[in-house]
């Protein structure tokens, strides 16, 4: 079971202890407990691994990436804004 997403971005969060990555994306479909509706945004928990076009997070979520994506670098403070729904483009995050 997975959530399919588009307009995705892998974002490296640079914090004082160790950097980590999260996924920010727009939902296409969600067959996992119907957490999301089509066109909702999401900001994932810490990414454990990425294999082909599948992302697995530390909370056990699985996301299928479709289309082209981007990579950015953000601060922990910017992560809070991402969680609140602002996109990487709106925040003018640094491209990786």
Question: How many CB atoms lie under 10 A from the CB of residue 84?
Answer: 9
- Domain count within the chain: 1
Cβ–Cβ under 8 Å, residues 6 and 26: yes
pTM of the model: 0.94
Say if residue 48's pLDDT is above 80: yes
**Residue 76 structural domain:** 3-95
Q: Would you state the pLDDT for residue 33?
A: 76
Judged by DSSP in three states, 7 sits in strand
CA distances from 88 to 2, 59, 84 (A): 23, 22, 12
Q: Would you state the pLDDT for residue 32?
A: 76
């Amino acid at each position: 079971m997975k959530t399919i997403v588009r307009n995705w971005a892998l974002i490296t969060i640079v914090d004082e202890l160790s950097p980590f990555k999260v996924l920010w994306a727009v939902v296409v479909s969600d067959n996992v407990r119907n957490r999301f509706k089509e066109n909702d945004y999401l900001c994932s928990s810490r990414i454990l691994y990425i294999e082909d076009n599948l992302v697995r997070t530390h909370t056990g979520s699985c996301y299928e990436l479709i289309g082209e994506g981007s990579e950015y670098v953000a601060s922990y403070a910017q992560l809070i804004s991402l969680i609140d729904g602002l996109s990487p483009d709106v925040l003018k995050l640094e491209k990786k």
